[in-house]
Amino acid sequence: MNKKISVSIILMIFIIICATIVVVQANDFIVNFQIDYGRIVTEYNTVTLCLDIKDSEDNLRNVTVEFSLDNITWKGYDVEQDKWIDNHKSIYQPYYPSFPIGDTEGLKTIYVRIIDGEGDVKYYSSKISYSPDRVRPVINAPITVNSQDKLSTDSDNGITNGNGTEINPYIIKNNQTRLVLDAPNASRTKYSIDGTNWSEWLKVDDEKIDIPITFDSNEGRKMIFILARNQYGIDSSIKKIYYLLDTTSPHIDVPNDKNLIAINNNLSFEFGLNDNIIGEIDFKIEMFINGSLVSKKGKIKQYFDNKLTITSVNINGLPIGIYKAKIIANDQAGNISTKSFIISNK
């Protein structure tokens, strides 16, 4: 009986020792393999390979390393020649510079083969997307700016001036507009009205960004921030599009508008125009003389807010009679005002 117990104890000790040996062999070192310090996208066709092996210094001296793009053909880094050589086994070091990943953009998988001093081989891999400059997303200047209800020309929607720059913003009379831009290489886009709060990523079809925009209704300067991203996760530069929202028609003031009297068939009078948002107003004076429409055009530039800009008009050669006339004022956003008055020539 005691003999059986002794045999059992010896067998248990043997099993424990064997199990301990297996654990040690399975955990001889720990590997952390990264590309370009953990980046997921690169615009360069060479990358830095970061290999961290946790083991004793004595064991690491006997480790050799090879790398591959296809898990078939392997190459190693020669420190003395400072270059990558096919079928060359690298000595272990934490970083390997300028590993070539080819010229074709896309997702790259890099494999590492680690051979320890006993000849045991272990394989690891890491991934990175290659997105060179030629496929970097670009946002070009807007190709049209439209209201949300329909795709039409800029002038149909009151956008008759501006190019979207800070100096020369798009002038709009409606707080709803549509922004359409060419965006080569873009697969997604997002936008912001304040530069802080961004929309969700929106799909880009046929490399065209098409975004309906709604500003607040307060008149004045507005801005849109646009960002594009390609399929590899590379972002464009942020593009800013500037707007000037003007929803108010110009103010027209004609003194004595009920009784303008011509003298010696000539009429000379003054009137005032005001537009605080834009400050440039086109005007036209229209009247019918002997059944024919006669018009006189001009433009004023306003230099002071909340003050009328006074302009003088001369109409010569008026026949005897009483005429209905009107001033039509049109600001750069397309807002229109009219003012009717009577001209007497007796």
What pLDDT, on the 0 to 100 scale, is given for residue 153? Answer: 43
Examine residue 12 and state whether it is found in any structural domain, yes or no: no
Domain that holds residue 192: 136-245
Q: Where is the domain boundary, 245, 267, 282?
A: 245
Token pair belonging to 201: 């990523």
Task: Say if residue 115 is in the same domain as residue 60.
Answer: yes
Domain-embedded: residue 9: no
Together in a domain, 127 and 140:
no
More confident residue, 47 or 148: 47
CA geometry: angle 77, 82, 87, nearest 5 deg: 30
**What length is written for the chain?**
346
Give percent of the chain above pLDDT 70.
Answer: 86
Q: Are residues 184 and 96 in the same domain?
A: no
Kindly list the distances between the CA atom of residue 55 and the CA atoms of 19, 28, 184, 308, in Å, as whole numbers in the listed order: 21, 7, 48, 84
Residue 83, Ramachandran bin (φ over 0: left; ψ between -120 and 50: alpha; else beta) = beta
Residue 151 above 60 pLDDT? Answer: no
Per-residue pLDDT of 132-143, as tens digits, reads: 877 888 888 776
Q: If pLDDT is split at 50, 70 and 90, which confidence band does 148 have?
A: very low
Q: Which of 226, 245, 264 is the C-terminal boundary of a domain? A: 245
In the listed set 88, 111, 131, which residue is the last one of a domain according to the structure? 131
Largest CA distance in the chain: 147
CATH code at 339? Answer: 2.60.40.2550
Q: Could you tell me the two tokens for 300?
A: 């004023």
Rg from Cα positions in the chain: 39
DSSP 296: E
Q: Flag whether 200 is in a domain.
A: yes
Structure tokens at 223: 């801005």
Q: Which two tokens stand for residue 41?
A: 């996208």
Domain presence at residue 8: no
Say if 154 falls within a structural domain.
yes
Q: Are residues 229 and 144 in the same domain?
A: yes
Pairing of strands 83-86, 75-78: antiparallel
* Tens-place pLDDT, residues 76-110: 999 999 999 999 999 999 999 999 999 988 899 99
Structure tokens at 335: 């807002």
Q: How far apart are CA 178 and CA 161, in angstroms?
A: 16
CATH code of the domain covering residue 187: 2.60.40.10
Q: What is the pLDDT of residues 283-329, one digit of tens each?
A: 999 888 877 888 888 888 887 777 888 888 888 888 888 888 899 99
| Within a domain: 115 | yes
Kindly state whether residue 35 falls inside one of the protein's structural domains. yes
Q: Which two tokens stand for residue 253?
A: 């003031």
Structural domain count of the chain: 3
From the CB of residue 323, how many other CB atoms can be counted at a distance below 10 Å?
20
Report whether 220 contacts 175 (CB < 8 A): no
The reply to whether 108 and 179 lie within a common domain is no
Task: Identify whether 6 is part of a domain.
Answer: no
Q: Domain check: are 94 and 153 in the same one?
A: no
Q: Which amino acid is at 168?
A: N
